[in-house]
Chains A and B, each alone.
With several copies, the nearest count.
Chain A
C-alpha cells in the first residue's frame, strides 16, 4: 500500500535560528505585531510503499533521521498526512 507522509524538520531547542530571528525582527515594520517565537523549518511530503501505517511511519522516520536532517542540530518527525 502507498501512504502519504509528511516529515517535519526543525532546529533543536537552544540551537540558534538566525532565519527565524531575522524574520521576527522584520515583522513589526511590515505591520505584523504580536508575533513572537518565529522558527523556520523544513517539511517534506513523500509517498511510501509499505504493508501498513506503522511500517510506513517507521520507514519515513528512518529516512528523516538519516537523510533529511542532522540529529546533532535538528529534530525530525514523520506523520501521516494528506497531500494539500
Chain B
C-alpha cells in the first residue's frame, strides 16, 4: 500500500482533509510533524493547505525553514513524489523546490469558490492519470494565490510542460492563468486549488479524485 506522509506545520489546517483524501483512494496516510527529519517511511509527501506559522511575513516564508523541509528537499531530489496544495505550494516556492512565487489575489480579498481548471500537462505526479485538456471543477481557498514569475521562467515552464493546470476563468490574476506547476522532473507539484475538497459529489465535486489518484499511484511518465 502506498504510504503518504502529510506534513503538519504549526498553523497547517488542511492536514486531516489531505489524509482523508488519499485514504479514500486506498493509500495509508500519516501526519508528519514539522520537526521530523526522516521521511524514509513514505512513498509520497504532501504539504497541505493552511497557514503554516500563521502565514506571517509571507505565506511559506517561515515554514520553509522548518527541519522537515531539508528532508523534503532530499526526498524530492531522489525523485520522490511531493505535492504542495495551496499553502503547501507556497511553501515549496519559498523553499525553491518550485519556481515562481504566489502573490496576493488581484482583488485583494481571500477567495473561497469553485473554479474550473484545465489539465495542461500530464507530465507530473499529479496529472499523469488525467487527460490533456480535461476540465476539472475544484475549489480554491486562498488570499495569496496569484502565481507570478519573470518572463524567462515562464518561458521555461511552458517549454518544458511544467504548467500542469490552468484556470479556465482566472479568479485571482495568476500569471498566464497558472493554477499549478511542476518541477522539471515532474515529481514535485504545487497547485492552489484543493483537490482534496473535490472528492465526493456530496460536497459538490468529485473531480479532484483523478489528481490525487495519480499522486497516490505516482509514477512519473517519461516526458
Q: In the complex, are there CB atoms of A and B closer than 8 Å?
A: yes
B71 adjacent to chain A (CB < 8 Å): no
Task: Say yes or no for B31: interface residue by CB 8 A criterion.
Answer: no
Do the beta carbons of A15 and B62 come within 8 Å of each other? no
Q: Does B170 contact A (CB under 8 A)?
A: no
B54 with A26: CB separation less than 8 A: no
Are B106 and A18 in contact (CB-based, < 8 A)? yes
A29 proximity list for chain B (CB < 8 A): 65
By a CB distance below 8 angstroms, the chain B residues around A14 are 150
Residues on B with beta carbons closer than 8 Å to the beta carbon of A70: 58, 61, 94, 101
Bound together, the chains give a CA A70 to CA B96 distance in angstroms of: 10
Whether A73 and B148, one on each chain, are in contact in the complex, defined by CB atoms closer than 8 angstroms, is: yes
**A68 in contact with B103 (CB, 8 Å):** no
Contact A22 B53 (CB under 8 A): yes
Residues of chain A touching chain B, judged by Cβ–Cβ distance below 8 Å, are: 14-16, 18-19, 22-23, 26, 29-30, 40, 67-68, 70, 72-73
Can you spell out 27 A-B residue pairs with CB atoms less than 8 angstroms apart? Answer: A15-B148, A16-B146, A18-B103, A18-B104, A18-B107, A18-B108, A19-B54, A19-B108, A22-B54, A22-B57, A22-B108, A23-B56, A23-B57, A23-B62, A26-B53, A26-B65, A30-B65, A40-B56, A40-B57, A67-B62, A68-B57, A70-B58, A70-B61, A70-B94, A72-B101, A72-B149, A73-B101
Main secondary structure of the interface of A (DSSP, over half): helix
Instruction: Give the docked Cα–Cα distance between A19 and B58 (Å).
Output: 10
Q: Which residues of the other chain, A, contact B105 by a CB distance below 8 angstroms?
A: 18
Residues of B within 8 A of A (CB): 53-54, 56-58, 61-62, 65, 93-94, 100-101, 103-108, 146, 148-150, 173
Count A-B pairs with CB separation below 8 Å: 55
Which residues on the A side are within 8 Å of B54 (C-beta)?
18-19, 22
Contacts of A22 on B, CB cut-off 8 Å?
Answer: 53-54, 56-57, 62, 108
Whether A67 contacts B150 in the complex (CB less than 8 A), given A19-B104, A72-B93, comes out as no
Min CB distance A27 to B, Å, is 10
Please give the distance in Å from B9's CB to the nearest CB on chain A: 12
